[in-house]
Amino acid sequence: MNNRLINWFKYASPQSFYPVAGKMIPWFAALAVLFGIAGLWIGMAVAPTDFQQGEGYRIIFIHVPASWMSMFIYLVMAFWAALGLAYNTRLSGMMAQALAPTGALMAFLSLWTGALWGKPMWGTWWVWDARLTSELILLFLYIGFIALQASIDDPRRADKAGAVLALVGVVNIPIIYFSVKWWNTLHQGASVSLNKAPSMASLMLWGMLLMALCFWMYSIAVALHRVRTIMLERERGTEWVKDVLQQEAAK
């Protein structure tokens, strides 16, 4: 095992992951701010006004990255959940628990900005379109996950029960993705796809990609911060937590 460049299993224990996460957080936070400034500058100042939708379209610079993140975080959560069930590692469950609130926030942001965008464009805050509905279901799934974990006192059982729920819920992700093709209603099709050239100006695309990167970095930084807190809380009886707290108090 030890002839590998990095022994990944070493970082599966909270004790060794805690300081690493602490070192990574400032970097990801700084990158989030940098990408955010660049993305917002391109999105709000440089990108041209859309000839159909006017200035209102600029909300997609928040809306689309938030929707992407809300779905992606659920996948990452399910990945950690599966890992936790398979290898029985403590850190996996903590990661899933740390990601859930951020994912719920992203789903809520996506719905909220979508409503703000829908009012001027479609003339209504909300339509029962497949994509909107499945994003709403995704928010419900996050809330169910958080509620289930909150109501189980034993953290090991909470992790495992949450993991099963996350894996069951992951069935919902393809339904979200294919719903555009299945129901084909009011919501426009995906604007960016891998197969054909995007149907938007490249400046807008750049703004959106930068904002997506910003959301990524933000989510990583926040999830790492939260997982550090969870580690301290769950391992409060152990020696290394005492050491860490003493060191931090001494600073």
Give me the residues that bind another protein (CB under 8 A), please: 85, 133, 137, 140-141, 143-144, 147-148, 151-152, 156-157, 160-161, 164-165, 167-169, 172, 175
Task: Tell me the backbone φ, ψ of residue 3, rounded to 5 degrees.
Answer: -80, 0
In 3-state terms, what secondary structure has residue 50? Answer: strand
CA distances from 184 to 130, 131, 150, 179, 180 (A): 8, 9, 37, 7, 5
Least distance between another protein and beta carbon 183 (Å): 9
Q: Which is nearer to another protein, 58 or 234 (CB)?
A: 234
> Is the Cβ of residue 152 or residue 200 nearer to another protein in the bound state?
152
Least distance in angstroms from the C-beta of 164 to another protein: 5
Question: CA nearest 60: which of 31, 40, 74, 33?
Answer: 40
Q: Which is nearer to another protein, 160 or 225 (CB)?
A: 160
Q: How far is the CB of 103 from another protein (least distance, A)?
A: 14
CB of 92 to another protein, least distance (A): 14
The residue (of 147 and 245) whose beta carbon lies closer to another protein is 147
Q: Name residues whose C-beta falls within 8 Å of residue 157's C-beta, 6 or more positions apart in sequence.
A: none
DSSP three-state, residue 42 = helix
Distance, CA of 214 to CA of 61 (rounded, Å)? 11
Closer Cβ to another protein, 175 or 232, answer by number? 175
